[in-house]
Amino acid sequence: MTHARLTPLAQSLPATVPFVGPETQERARGAGFAARLGANESVFGPSPEALKAMAASHHWMYGDPESHDLRAALAAHHGCAPENIMVGEGIDGLLGYLVRLTVGPGDAVVTSAGAYPTFNYHVAGFGGDLHAVPYAGDFEDPAALFAKAAEVDAKLVYLANPDNPMGSHHSGADLARAMDALPKDTLLVLDEAYVDCAPEGTALPLPVDDPRVIRMRTFSKAYGLAGARVGYALGHPDLITAFHKVRNHFGMNRAAQAGAMAALADRDHLAHVLDQIAQARSRIAQIARDNGLTPLPSATNFVTIDCGADGTFAKAVLDALIARGIFVRMPFVAPQNRCIRVGCGLPADLDALATALPQALAEAKRG
């Protein structure tokens, strides 16, 4: 029998993915979820104009490998040049390309312990040496991240603002000041996936072509196009151009590009969705308080709920919710794993949560 000759690095890696999808869990439990509140998608849906554009996009044709029109629309939206923008298969895909461009075996990379795990997955896949610093309370700690980067001579330092999984955020002005301590040869990878949901002033107020930082944005959250996988990076033209060396040039399908352009143009629908998110956050917070739990302030499309004990108890609550058809997730590193994370949902979804949560808490306490 012929065996594929994997590289030693590939042989050393586990055959796992960062997330167990809700579909996998549904197959395991033999039933669907009544409320899908764990994937940080937008159950409020995309713009109707985006759906029309996707339906009329001539699927039989390959997508434009340069995403020319979408990049032009994004450039106009952000007041920059198309050369400052790279479109890719969600932020996850762009992170993979960035790590491939910058990280080789043994290169140091810094992140927060318990932050978005897909970044770590890419770093491991290219042999990087990952260094993690703890959160400061329930916030990622820019000062500690940048100090660690200086200590280990990191090529990249990853920071999400707003943060997943805690929902916390720093003001853009505070983050810009903290960047004074960013080491000279370290690139800040700033994941702004949730910035559309955040208070005014959260986005980094620095020029798009600042060479110290590359910003990641997505159409998967407030724009409701998670299934289309459309993300983009904002950065210095030299770095953006380098993506052409490694990216999948036909990775962006035609329908996704058309849908993203239409979604970007429909400001009324975005405002409607952001209002729905705000209402859902308030409702989730009230459900948590009604059950004696503490909702954390959120600048995202989810609410992280402190279950008041440790990770074992929070996991029991999560398992009991899943058993009742409520899909949620939780942080995976202490002490943040004392919490569960609940995505914004429709009123019926949150009604189901309100019914299931006291039952899940009672079961977890018995266990």
**pLDDT tens digit string along 37-87?**
999 999 999 999 999 999 999 999 999 999 999 999 999 999 999 999 999
Give me the CATH number covering residue 23: 3.90.1150.10
pLDDT of residue 294: 98
Q: Which of 290, 359, 282 is nearest to 323 (CA)?
A: 359
Instruction: pLDDT band for 281, please (50, 70, 90 cuts).
Output: very high
Among all chains, which residue has been given the structure tokens 């994941």? 191
Q: Is residue 130, in this structure, part of any structural domain at all?
A: yes
Position 96 scores a pLDDT of 98
Q: Give 165-182 pLDDT, tens digit per residue.
A: 999 999 999 999 999 999
**Are 218 and 75 in the same domain?**
yes
Instruction: Tell me which residue range forms the domain holding 147.
Output: 58-265
Q: How far apart are CA 208 and CA 77, in angstroms?
A: 12
Domain total for the chain?
A: 2
Residues 115-121 have a mean pLDDT of 95
In a domain, residue 50? The reply is no
Question: Is 53 within a domain?
Answer: no
Q: Is the pLDDT of residue 2 over 90?
A: no
Rounded distance between C-alpha atoms, residue 167 and residue 195, angstroms: 11
Which of residues 230, 245, 265 is at a domain's end?
265
- 8 lies in a domain? no
For 131, the enclosing helix (H) or strand (E) is: strand 129-133
Task: Report the pLDDT value the prediction gives residue 16, as an integer from 0 to 100.
Answer: 82
Residues 240, 209 share a domain:
yes
Task: Specify the 3-state DSSP secondary structure of 160.
Answer: strand
Judged against a pLDDT cut of 80, whether residue 1 lies above it is answered with no
Q: What mean pLDDT is predicted for residues 147-176?
A: 98
The reply to whether 272 and 257 lie within a common domain is no
Q: Residue 17 pLDDT more than 90?
A: no
Domain-located, residue 11: no
Same-domain status, 226 and 279:
no
pLDDT above 80 (res 293): yes
Q: Are residues 116 and 140 in contact, defined by beta-carbon separation less than 8 angstroms? A: no
Q: What pTM was estimated for this model as a whole?
A: 0.96
Answer yes or no: is pLDDT of 20 > 90.
no
Q: ω into residue 295 within 30 of 0, thus cis?
A: no
Are residues 224 and 260 both part of a single domain? yes
Does one domain contain both 110 and 189?
Answer: yes
User: Mean of the pLDDT values across residues 312-323?
Assistant: 98
Same domain, 71 and 208: yes
Same domain flag for 120 and 252:
yes
Cα(190)–Cα(258) distance, integer angstroms: 26
Residues 6+ apart with CB under 8 A from 341: 38, 165, 167, 302, 303, 304, 305, 328, 329, 330, 331
For 183-241, the pLDDT digits (tens) are 999 999 999 999 999 999 999 999 999 999 999 999 999 999 999 999 999 999 999 99
Specify the residue for token string 């197959």.
27
Q: What is the CATH number of the domain that holds 243?
A: 3.40.640.10
CA distances from 305 to 79, 317, 357 (A): 37, 11, 12
Residue 181 lies in a domain: yes
Place of tokens 């072509």: 209
- 143 pLDDT band, cuts 50/70/90, is very high
| Alpha-carbon distances, residue 7 vs 18, 124, 154 (angstroms) | 21, 13, 25
Question: Both 259 and 272 in a single domain?
Answer: no
Banded pLDDT at 362 (limits 50, 70, 90): very high
Beta bridge partners of 111: 132
Structural domain includes residue 117: yes
Domain boundary among 220, 236, 265: 265
Q: What integer pLDDT is reported at residue 267 of this predicted model?
A: 98
Going by pLDDT thresholds of 50, 70 and 90, the confidence category of residue 246 is very high
Residue 191: the pLDDT is 98
The answer on 176 and 66 residing in a single domain is yes
Q: Are residues 66 and 187 in the same domain?
A: yes
Last residue of a domain, one of 242, 265, 288: 265
- Are 39 and 102 members of one domain? no
Q: Residue 150 pLDDT more than 90?
A: yes
Nearest CA among 137, 96, 142, 141 for reference residue 120: 96
Tell me if 183 is assigned to some domain.
Answer: yes
